[in-house]
Amino acid sequence: MNWFGFGFNGFGQIVPRRKGEKDEDTAKVLSPVALGSLCSSCEGKTRFDPKKQTETSEHTIKVVASWSQRAAVYRDGDPHVCMSGFISGPDEEHTGLAPESKGCVDALISERYLTLSFADRVECWSLKPTGNALVWSGVNGVQDTSDTGPIATLPLVPGGYIASKPPFYRPLSPELHAVSLALGSEHAVLLTSSGTVYSWGSGSHGQLGHGSLVSEDEPQVLEALWGVPMKYVAAGGWHSACISAGGDLYVWGWNESGQIGLPSKGLKDQSQRAPSTEKGELVVNKREDNVFISIQAFPALVDVPEVSEISKVSCGSRHTASITSSGNLYTWGWGHYGQLGHGSKCSSDEPKVVEYFSNGGMTVEDVVCGLWNTFVCATPRKRSPL
């Protein structure tokens, strides 16, 4: 498996920047690039694969990102987390192992905190240029649930979840039977074992999906999706998404940059103001719709061209990315930093395939949206037997 990144690179989260570089364009990676090892401890390490009876390189099992940083969780061999990006100032970048992460099995990162999950505990570390500081520790970590189902991953922990700011531990009713939880900038979307979706937090942009702009302190069921089992949830800056058991994609919330996949007046206005597209600066918006959606407060079915099923989805600040059952990647929304992966700074309110992977003979297996960038795991596409 190989990880790729594209979009905002202002702090070297995707590729290292040359010291003292000031040009704005160096902060933008417009097309996918392969991510190298994040620290010297990862380089050259191998493990024995009993199925193939060969030595294989240690691989990343998870990439997480905030606005200015990226972190990768390595599980094989010596489990740890490597970080890359902003550390203390706009001219200072950091790449390397987080010493406090040794032995962890999962991680999350925000602008101020690194959350680490171990077999017996969860820790929250404050990110500081002088060295990370432990600010909270508690709650049993990942538990063996082999008899009851799959292990829930962060931010879920036994009895509740871990938030990105104090109070870090927040309880959840056991009656919810939560199996997955996605945290947006100011809201949360939860999936239960029965496929029911709940949301709570700020509703200022319709990101809760309850049909209003009202905020909710406690989890509330999405009645618009009642009776339709879901299998995946995601949350971004001010929008949310989920995938049904049948592979249909639903998105709701703020549509300022077309991130909902519905006609955006903001993109239409920008395209009318700019007469030329030669340098890829223009917004892509070929729709002739006279009806524009600024806020979609109910879940809306997104039509992805020539796609029968969606398997995964991720939401950034103002863009969205999804993977089809055939392993293709589609992106839409704000693209000013190249976070859509189409080789330009164009935005779009229509899902478009990222040709770098489809034309390159690769199957996309995972996607993680940072606020202004995107990270993708892809493998060589298997050839059909003759």
Q: SS3 of 357, please?
A: helix
Cβ–Cβ < 8 Å for 34, 2: yes
Percentage of the chain surpassing pLDDT 90?
67
Tokens 């700020």 correspond to: 202
pLDDT at 23: 59
Q: How many CB atoms lie within 10 A of CB 259?
A: 30
Radius of gyration over every alpha carbon of the chain, rounded to an integer in angstroms: 20
Q: In the chain, what are the domain boundaries?
A: 172-386
pTM over 0.95, yes/no: no
Query: Between the CA atoms of 292, 298, 301 and 303, what dihedral angle is there, to the nearest 10 degrees?
Result: 20
DSSP assigned state of 378: E
What's the chain's average pLDDT? Answer: 86
Residues 6+ apart with CB under 8 A from 221: 196, 197, 198
> Could you read off the pLDDT of 54-83 as tens digits, one per residue?
444 556 689 999 999 999 998 877 899 999
> Could you read off the pLDDT of 262-299 as tens digits, one per residue?
999 878 777 665 554 444 444 455 555 577 899 999 99
Residue 298: Cβ-neighbour burial (10 angstroms; 0-12, 13-18, 19+): middle
Q: SS3 of 272, please?
A: helix
Q: Where are the alpha helices (DSSP H) in 22-128?
A: none
Residue 29 to residue 12: CA distance in whole angstroms = 10
Residue 20 to residue 2: CA distance in whole angstroms = 29
Angle (nearest 5°) at CA 75 between 35 and 135: 95
Q: What CATH number does the domain located at 172-386 have?
A: 2.130.10.30
pLDDT at 273: 58
pLDDT at 340 over 90: yes
Task: Tell which residue, 134, 200, 207, 151, has the closest CA to residue 172.
Answer: 200
> Could you read off the pLDDT of 91-126 as tens digits, one per residue?
455 668 899 999 999 999 999 999 999 999 999 999
56 backbone dihedrals φ, ψ, rounded to 5°: -125, 155
Q: How many CB atoms lie within 10 A of CB 313?
A: 25
pLDDT at 210 over 60: yes
> Could you read off the pLDDT of 146-168 as tens digits, one per residue?
444 445 689 999 999 999 999 99
